[in-house]
Amino acid sequence: MKRKSNPVGFKNVQITGGFWGGRITLVSEKVIPYQRDALNDSVPGAEPSHAVENFRIAAGLSKGEFKGFPFQDSDLAKWMEAASYSLAHHPNASIEKALDELIDLMAKAQRPDGYLNTYFTVAAPDKRWTDFSGGHELYSAGHIFEAAVAHFTVTGKRSFIDLAGRYADYIISVIGPEKGKMKVYCGHPEVELALCKLYRATGEERYLKLAEFFIDERGKAPVFLKSEPTFSNGKKDRWLDTDYHQAHLPIREQTTAEGHSVRAMYLYSGMADVAAETGDVRLASSLRRIWENVVTRRMYVTGGLGSQAYGERFTIDYDLPNDTAYAETCASIGLVFWAHRMLLLEPDRRYADVLERSLYNGSLSGISLDGTKYFYVNPLEVHPATATARKDHEHVKTERVPWFGCACCPPNIARLITSLGEYLYSVEGRTVYAHLYADSTADVRVAGQKVVLTEKTDYPWDGRISFSVDTEKPIRFALALRVPGWCGGFACTVNGERIESGVEDSGYLVIDRTWSAGDSAELILDMQVRLMSADPRVRADIGKIAIQRGPLVYCLEEADNGPDLHAIILSPKAKFKADWEPDTLGGAVVVRGDAVRIVSPRRTEEPYDSILPETEPTTVTAVPYCLWCNRKPGEMSVWIRCGD
């Protein structure tokens, strides 16, 4: 199935202000320098990375031992990608120089045959291509390819992409369908989508062919991974079996999301890329089946994925515990990647709605308001005393931390935010789709003519979205505006006059007309507070409700509501008021409403008593989930007990 619409590249979309403009500026001006220091082990109190030092050792510029995980190179590559994206809108000579120096360092570390991996160069030079289960060679290579494409796209410099091409060409000389080559794939998918990016940037079809090979090969019986001594950490472990690697069945026979949730998201993204480039209808059909399984049975209301800490993985349908959820930041980011690719294959708001849910909630919760602290795991309920006392909660952090030894998430959220412009618009023929809303300016090429769209909005705090059109001469095209699935009602005007146009089956309001310079359109979305319930088969949420306003999921925090959040009961008939509070959490819409709290007139200190509990009235305050834990640490809950 060929791609139906093409994204308007991030270089052509300038996010100018509002919710995302401030965050892009923060990441560009503060987060990227901070993460550079963390990768160079110069942030006091942060867990050391050693990522840059590993490259110095591999290049022969330092002496010492490799430190970190076998995939430590990928942390640096993701940072380089984020930094490259940031230069498109926030030029910074210091960051550009740092990138040039790192590319030069990588070139020195690259082996004469093109191979580039510090772990297998420094720590295990005799183990190259022997550990596909856990060695992450192709995974790390993929992140280098992605960074190189971003750097080339933004700067036009060839140093990095040429280095990446040499590495990719070396891999092609070793792995592939041809006789004498290894018939393998990485235990951690990622290289597939990266090769597709490299193909689009260079036009070299061999990179696409290798991506297609990896997808076709995965899951073929017998699964070669099982013959590796490192498979399942060298022991029989049902949680780390072939499904952990999405290799339990050939790709086109898979119908459910299995295994490690980040690996799954990267794989499905690569599958979507290959389907788009090759027109593989069967591959696209498989993706749709898996999509339905993920978003209707295995996804949290925040867009989080992965309900079990051990294996960081999916389990079974509707198993979505809140306090032990894994919901890794990288998994939500991966869902953004996948949803965007599905949206390009088939413009439909069901993909954009999930993209938006995961972006605003499951992904953004992974970074603090000041950009210097991070969550790896994003549970939907936290009780600090329990989280620090129980073994099955040890993955849950009660506060964001400055860095991780396994630091995949911090640079991942940085690269997502700095490249966000690419997710706003796409073009199909003479239709311009607006998928996400942000204060921005976009240079769009439609019907052979340049059109500049200027968007003004305070979304997601406010549902008013205004577009102005600038074009050299009148041009007919269709502007397709997404009406989100959460929206209970909307209004639209063109040049101040209300239009009575219905929403198409795809979920987009299509305004097809001849546009002239100075024309405008305005979409007003209903932003009422909504109470959400879960499918009754989600055992953790039975009898509970969650609060959502616009795309934002809300939560209760101890900072506003006191301890024992589990004792609060919300009525489904409760009335809520949403107000903008400039001094709360950097400026946010806060939701307040009436509730009751369970109290117990106990006669003794015994834990159980025949006296039934009573309730007393209270007022609850809910804040956006993505902003929780930016004040003092304490309890947090997304799902709240429901009752009259």
pLDDT tens, position by position, 569-605: 999 999 999 999 999 999 999 999 999 999 987 767 8
User: Taking 90 as the threshold, does the pLDDT of residue 14 lie above it?
Assistant: yes
Residue 617 sits at φ, ψ, to 5 deg, of -65, 150
Residue 1: pLDDT band with limits 50, 70, 90: low
Q: Is the torsion defined by CA of 55, 65, 132, 404 positive or negative?
A: negative
Q: What is the pLDDT averaged over residues 11-35?
A: 97
Q: Is the model more confident about 5 or about 193?
A: 193
What the block records as the tokens of 195 is 């090769």
Give me the pLDDT at residue 449, please: 94
**pLDDT value of position 601:** 75
pLDDT, one tens digit per residue, over 108-167 is 999 999 999 999 999 999 999 999 999 999 999 999 999 999 999 999 999 999 999 999
Residues of the chain with CATH 2.60.40: 425-525
The chain-wide mean pLDDT, for the chain, equals: 96
Residue 610: pLDDT band by 50, 70, 90 thresholds?
Answer: confident
- Exposure string (b/e) for 189-213, b if CB count within 10 Å is 16 or more? bbbbbbbbbbbebbebeebbbbbbb
Q: Which CATH class is domain 425-525?
A: mainly beta
Environment class of residue 39 by beta-carbon count within 10 Å: exposed (0-12), middle (13-18) or buried (19+)? buried
Mean per-residue pLDDT, 454-466: 98
Residues 271-308 as b or e (16 or more Cβ within 10 Å = b): bbbbbbbbebeebbebbeebbebbbebbbbbbbbbbbb
Which pLDDT score is estimated for 427?
97
Quick: pLDDT tens for 319-361: 999 999 999 999 999 999 999 999 999 999 999 999 999 999 9
Sorting pLDDT into bands at 50, 70 and 90, what band is 644? confident
Q: How confident is the model at residue 566 (pLDDT cuts 50, 70, 90)?
A: very high
Check residue 603 and give its pLDDT: 67
Task: Compute the distance between CA of residue 411 and CA of residue 639 in angstroms, rounded to an integer.
Answer: 29
Residues classed as catalytic: 312, 408
pLDDT (tens digit per residue) in 279-308: 999 999 999 999 999 999 999 999 999 999
Q: What is the pLDDT of residue 200?
A: 97
Q: Which CATH class is domain 6-423?
A: mainly alpha
User: In the beta sheet, which residues pair with residue 299?
Assistant: 305
Domain with CATH 1.50.10 in the chain: 6-423
In sequence order, the 6+-apart residues with CB closer than 8 A to the CB of 344 are: 3, 4, 5, 6, 7, 272, 276, 426
pLDDT at position 365: 98
